[in-house]
Structure 1
C-alpha cells in the first residue's frame, strides 16, 4: 500500500514545473519590458534636457541677443540630432532678456526645448501615440562682458 501512495503523490506533482514556467516567463518578460520602456522614456527626457543646457551654454558665448537665439536653436537641434531623438516637431524657446541688462549686473539665458516623440520610436514598433518631453537649461552670462540686445 505504501508503494501505491508514493506513486499517487508523484503523479500529483507531474507537470507542476511546466505550469510554473508558463506563468513565470511571461511575467518576467513583462517586467523586463516595463523596465526597458521606463529607461527609454527617462533617456529621452535626459537628452532633451542636455540639448537645452548645451543651447543655453552656446548662447552665452555670443555678444548679442539675436545671435544668441540663433546659436542656441542651432546647437539644441544639433544635439537632438546627435542623440538620434526624432522630434515631431522640436520647439526651442530662448529667453535672451539677459542681454538687455547692463554689463556689471548678473543675467541668465534660459533655453526650453520641447520634443514630441512617437511612442513607436521609444517603446514598441507600431505603437500609436506620442509622448511630449521637455527640458530646460539656464546658464549665466559673463558679468563684465559687453552685451548688445
Structure 2
C-alpha cells in the first residue's frame, strides 16, 4: 500500500462515520445540543468538513469546495465564507441549522476533492514544508495526518451525540 492509498483509506473512514452520524436526521435533531454548551451533530460535521476543505485546498493550491461549488450559498449561514468554526462560541454553534442532505453533499464533495488531490501525491511530497509558522515547520504529511486526526475525533463526537439525541 502506498502512502496516498493509506491516507485515502483514512479519509474514507471519516466519510463513513460522518454518513452514519448524519443520515436520516432532521434539521432539529442535527441542531440539538446534548447538553448546554455542547456541540451539535450539524455543527460538528460542518466544522470538520470546513477544516478538511480549508486545509486540503490550501496545500493543493485550489479554491475551497465551499465557495467553488456553491455550498456557502446552500448553507446560507451568518458567517464569513472563510469561517471554519475554529474558536466559535455557543451562540455561533446554535446558528448552524442545516439539512442532512446539505451536510452530506458538502462532505462528499470535499471527500472527492481530497481523494483526487491525494492521488497526485508521491511519498516524497509528504516532506514538503507547508507551514513555516510553527517550530518545527509543518510538512504536508504532518498537515494531512492532523486533518485526519481532527476529523475522526469530531466525526466520533457526532456519532456519539446521535446516540444521545435519537
Q: What is the TM-score normalised by the length of structure 2?
A: 0.29
Bigger relative CO (Cα 8 Å, ≥ 6 apart): 2
Q: Return the structure number with greater helix share.
A: 2
Higher normalized strand content (fraction of residues): 1
TM-score normalised to the size of structure 1? 0.31
